[in-house]
């Protein structure tokens, strides 16, 4: 029992560490390539998206996972509740992305690339919720290696695509296109 707990904890920790290390390496490349204004826009959007789970989520999705191993709660009911939460949360994220992106687009009077960026943010935010659902499911089922694979695949593809796209043309759109491709890669397994 203790050995399994230690093994799963180590795997979850490794998954989080790899994601953080890749984000740090991506940041070191981005700060050399992207100008201050563009980086400020990226930082503003990513800070906003990082705060959303704290404001709206409150980790309610993980609070229900404690009932997963309880025999009196059917698995399909719990999965439906968690899936519904992620859908509702995804709609909240979609709405807030639309508001922020629209306000930013109006304030900066940008071109058609803004529309593409807004679409990427909206779809990426919603697909990110699906990735989180699969990560939560893997964690509840004690499938630590599946969790690791989903996390590392998404982080690695996101980091590589972001760096390549930004090196080709330093822009906010290319940054978030790399992020979007990472989310798609995490959904594929």
Under 8 Å between Cβ of 175 and 165: yes
Residues 6 or more apart whose Cβ sits within 8 Å of residue 44: none
Asked if pLDDT for residue 59 goes beyond 70, the answer is no
The per-residue pLDDT for 111 is: 59
12 or 111, greater pLDDT: 12
Residues 6 or more apart whose Cβ sits within 8 Å of residue 57: 89
Q: Please tell me the distance from the alpha carbon of residue 109 to that of residue 123, in angstroms, as a whole number.
A: 22
Asked if pLDDT for residue 65 goes beyond 70, the answer is no
pLDDT digits (tens, 9 = 90+) for 128-178: 777 877 888 888 888 888 888 888 888 888 888 888 888 888 877 778 888
Asked if pLDDT for residue 109 goes beyond 80, the answer is no
Residues in the chain: 189
112 or 23, greater pLDDT: 23
Percent of the chain with pLDDT over 70: 74
Using CA atoms, how far residue 138 sits from 102, 135, 172, in Å, is 35, 5, 32
Q: Please tell me the distance from the alpha carbon of residue 29 to that of residue 15, in angstroms, as a whole number.
A: 22
State the average pLDDT for the chain.
Answer: 76
Asked if pLDDT for residue 81 goes beyond 80, the answer is no
- Both tokens of 106, joined, read 């109006």
Identify the CA nearest to 128 among candidates 70, 186, 74, 175: 186
Asked if pLDDT for residue 179 goes beyond 70, the answer is yes
The per-residue pLDDT for 38 is: 78
The per-residue pLDDT for 137 is: 81
What are the two backbone dihedrals, phi and then psi, of residue 34, each rounded to the nearest 5 degrees? -90, 140
- Both tokens of 58, joined, read 């409150």
The per-residue pLDDT for 140 is: 80
Q: Please tell me the distance from the alpha carbon of residue 69 to that of residue 140, in angstroms, as a whole number.
A: 8
Asked if pLDDT for residue 108 goes beyond 70, the answer is no
Asked if pLDDT for residue 22 goes beyond 80, the answer is yes
């Amino acid at each position: 029992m203790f050995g399994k707990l230690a093994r799963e904890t180590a795997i979850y920790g490794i998954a989080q560490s790899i994601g953080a290390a890749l984000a740090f390496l991506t940041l070191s490349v981005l700060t050399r390539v992207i100008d201050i204004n563009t980086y400020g826009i990226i930082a503003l959007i990513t800070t906003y998206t990082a705060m959303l789970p704290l404001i709206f989520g409150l980790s309610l999705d993980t609070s229900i996972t404690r009932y997963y191993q309880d025999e009196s709660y059917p698995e399909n009911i719990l999965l439906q509740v968690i899936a519904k939460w992620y859908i509702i949360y995804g709609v909240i994220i979609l709405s807030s992305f639309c508001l922020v992106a629209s306000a930013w687009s109006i304030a900066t009077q940008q071109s058609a690339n803004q529309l593409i960026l807004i679409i990427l943010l909206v779809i990426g935010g919603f697909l990110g919720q699906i990735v989180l659902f699969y990560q939560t499911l893997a964690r509840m089922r004690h499938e630590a290696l599946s969790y690791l694979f989903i996390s590392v695949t998404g982080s690695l593809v996101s980091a590589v695509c972001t760096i390549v796209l930004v090196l080709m043309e330093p822009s906010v759109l290319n940054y978030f296109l790399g992020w979007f491709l990472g989310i798609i890669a995490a959904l594929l397994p």
